[in-house]
Amino acid sequence: KNQVEQSPQSLIILEGKNCTLQCNYTVSPFSNLRWYKQDTGRGPVSLTIMTFSENTKSNGRYTATLDADTKQSSLHITASQLSDSASYICVVAQTDSWGKFQFGAGTQVVVTP
Amino acid sequence: DGGITQSPKYLFRKEGQNVTLSCEQNLNHDAMYWYRQDPGQGLRLIYYSQIVNDFQKGDIAEGYSVSREKKESFPLTVTSAQKNPTAFYLCATYPGSGANVLTFGAGSRLTVL
């Protein structure tokens, strides 16, 4: 069973609207949680990194939240643009384990005019 | 992509052939990783290396081999023993433990004819 579950699997939104993506994880021990944006056919690009003590972090129109108690994170996209069309991947790092990044399957976002 | 070069971008292989994917970095990061990405699935770890001349198997190492003779380079060979090699391959680097960015290359798409 995947230790990082993302929802929804895909969504379509109108340009200018907001949306929220969800990430639930069971990874333990927990070190930090990351959100990445991946354009089709390209490598993922980091949006945010949050440690156990951080509840929210923003990067432009992207705002990530973390509730380490319930093991849930969300990524909120404000005033979506056509360039936001991509897959958004949640990644959880385990403490003291160099190779142990656990990846969600991603949420495919399509922004339409 | 910043500082990680993967080549080739696209590669076609006949069944029974070995192919090597190149990954070069100028970020001076200690750790390097190879991941495989298939549609609808999270990234899966093939191999990773923390230091020169040392590497560890990931979750799906069968049919793959690597070397780490230089800090900057971590090539991946997809051997004929890999039953279903058609996929998108991503190389990544990491400076060390903690909330540092796991940086990805642009990826290599391998198709078996």
Contact B99 A31 (CB under 8 A): yes
**What is the rounded average pLDDT of the residues B52-74?**
96
A-chain CB neighbours of B104 within 8 Å are 36, 43-45
Instruction: Supply the pLDDT for residue A1.
Output: 67
Is the Cβ–Cβ distance between A5 and A103 less than 8 Å? no
Instruction: Supply the pLDDT for residue A69.
Output: 92
Instruction: Supply the pLDDT for residue B2.
Output: 54
In B, minimum Cα distance to A43 occurs at B106
Calculated CA dihedral for residues B10, A86, A4, A60, nearest 10 degrees: 130
Q: Which CA distances in Å does A93 have to A24, A29, A97, A104, B93? A: 13, 9, 8, 12, 14
Output A97-100 pairs: Cβ under 8 A, ≥24 positions apart: A98/B31, A98/B48, A98/B50, A98/B94, A98/B97, A99/B31, A99/B33, A99/B45, A99/B48, A99/B56, A99/B58
Distance of CA A43 to the CA centre of its chain: 15
Higher-confidence residue: A16 or A99? Answer: A16
- pLDDT classification of B25: cutoffs 50, 70, 90: very high
Summary mean pLDDT of chain B: 93
Contact A98 B97 (CB under 8 A): yes
**Whole-angstrom Cα distance, residue B46 to residue B53?**
17
Instruction: Supply the pLDDT for residue A36.
Output: 98
